[in-house]
Amino acid sequence: MTVALDLAPAEADTDVPGLLALSYRRLTSLCEPLSVRVTHGGRPGPLRPCLVEGQEGVEAFVDAEAARIQNRYGHTAPRHVAASRALHDYAWSVGLLMGGVWYLERRVPRIAPEDVRVDLASGAFDITPGARLACLPDDPAVALSGVLPVAQEEALRGELRQAVAAHMGPVLDAIGPYARRGSRALWGMVADDLVSGIWYLGRVLGEEATAVRAATDVLRSALPPFPGGAGFRRLRTADGHEHPTRTRTGCCLYYTIRPDEACSTCPRTCDAERLRRLGG
């Protein structure tokens, strides 16, 4: 079981933003697709919008994603597809920042939507570490201002679910009309991305089975506002090995860009195709 890390000597007299800056940098060093830069706030200007600060920033966010899809795939994506793809990237990144810190350190950061800005040119995210986190009572961080100790593991998992929901609620309100998706589909995507981020981190660390159990513990079933649980199951390849898989509750609409390359967890991808990709 992954347990909370002790504070290193250099961390012992720091504050919560300092701790979280270290945690986020650890995650970005482990997870190559996690394109996040740790910043210290300031006035980033119009090319780094926050998604809850006005319609203009959301429209620029969607336009930038449409341009990236065109450049990367030579495909002109309808606006709702670009919005869904951009939202998926955002939800996965923010979910991994919170879920990854929980998985590695048994700490749950509170990330306000205003703490995250999007670099429209690169698609990277800038995050300003906040001043609040939750942890278990035996974590050395409990001595710091802004830390909420919770009694046990399930309460900490509850803090993770609440932190993700509190962040993503205003973001979904802002981008939902562009994605043209209902509430269930939008929250399904958020649930999928929280689970898949933890799962991905486990694979990177060579502890996939541990990560699957951890992600399942976070979402054992539908827990409002999340419409579905982790729902992992196993497929057995011809060599006798079992591989975890799941079927997404929401959809990132990648299949509309590359119809023959739907995600391995897409509802459109049957088990036979999943086994083929696994080499079995």
pLDDT for 182-215, tens place per residue?
999 999 999 999 999 999 999 999 999 999 999 9
233 part of a folded domain: no
Confidence of residue 277 (pLDDT cuts 50, 70, 90): confident
Q: Is the pLDDT of residue 1 over 80?
A: no
Q: What pLDDT, on a 0 to 100 scale, did the predictor assign at position 45?
A: 63
259 part of a folded domain: no
Distance of alpha carbon 20 from alpha carbon 128, whole angstroms: 9
Q: Is the pLDDT of residue 127 over 90?
A: yes
278 part of a folded domain: no
247 part of a folded domain: no
Identify the bridge partners of residue 134 per DSSP, sorted by sequence position. 108, 148
Beta strand 125-127 with 107-109 is: unpaired
Count of structural domains within the chain: 1
Q: What pLDDT, on a 0 to 100 scale, did the predictor assign at position 2?
A: 35
Q: Which residue has the higher pLDDT, 114 or 48?
A: 114
275 part of a folded domain: no
Distance of alpha carbon 51 from alpha carbon 275, whole angstroms: 39
Distance of alpha carbon 193 from alpha carbon 145, whole angstroms: 30
24 part of a folded domain: yes
Q: What pLDDT, on a 0 to 100 scale, did the predictor assign at position 43?
A: 59
249 part of a folded domain: no
Map tokens 């159990």 to a residue: 213
Q: What pLDDT, on a 0 to 100 scale, did the predictor assign at position 4?
A: 35
DSSP string, the chain: ---PPPPPGGGTT--HHHHHHHHHHHHHHH-TT--EEE-------TTS--TTS-HHHHHHHHHHHHHHHHHHHS----HHHHHHHHHHHHHHHHHHHHHHHHHHHSEEE---GGGEEE-TTT--EEE---S-EEE-TTSGGGGSTTEEE-SSHHHHHHHHHHHHHHHHHHHHHHHHHHHT--HHHHHHHHHHHHHHHHHHHHHHHT-HHHHHHHHHHHTSS-BTTB-S----EEEE-TTS-EEEE---SS---GGGTSGGG--TTSTTS-HHHHHHHHT-
Mean pLDDT for all residues in the chain: 91
Confidence of residue 269 (pLDDT cuts 50, 70, 90): confident
Q: How many Cβ atoms sit within 10 Å of the Cβ of residue 41? A: 12
What is the domain extent for residue 40? 13-228
122 part of a folded domain: yes
Q: What pLDDT, on a 0 to 100 scale, did the predictor assign at position 44?
A: 63
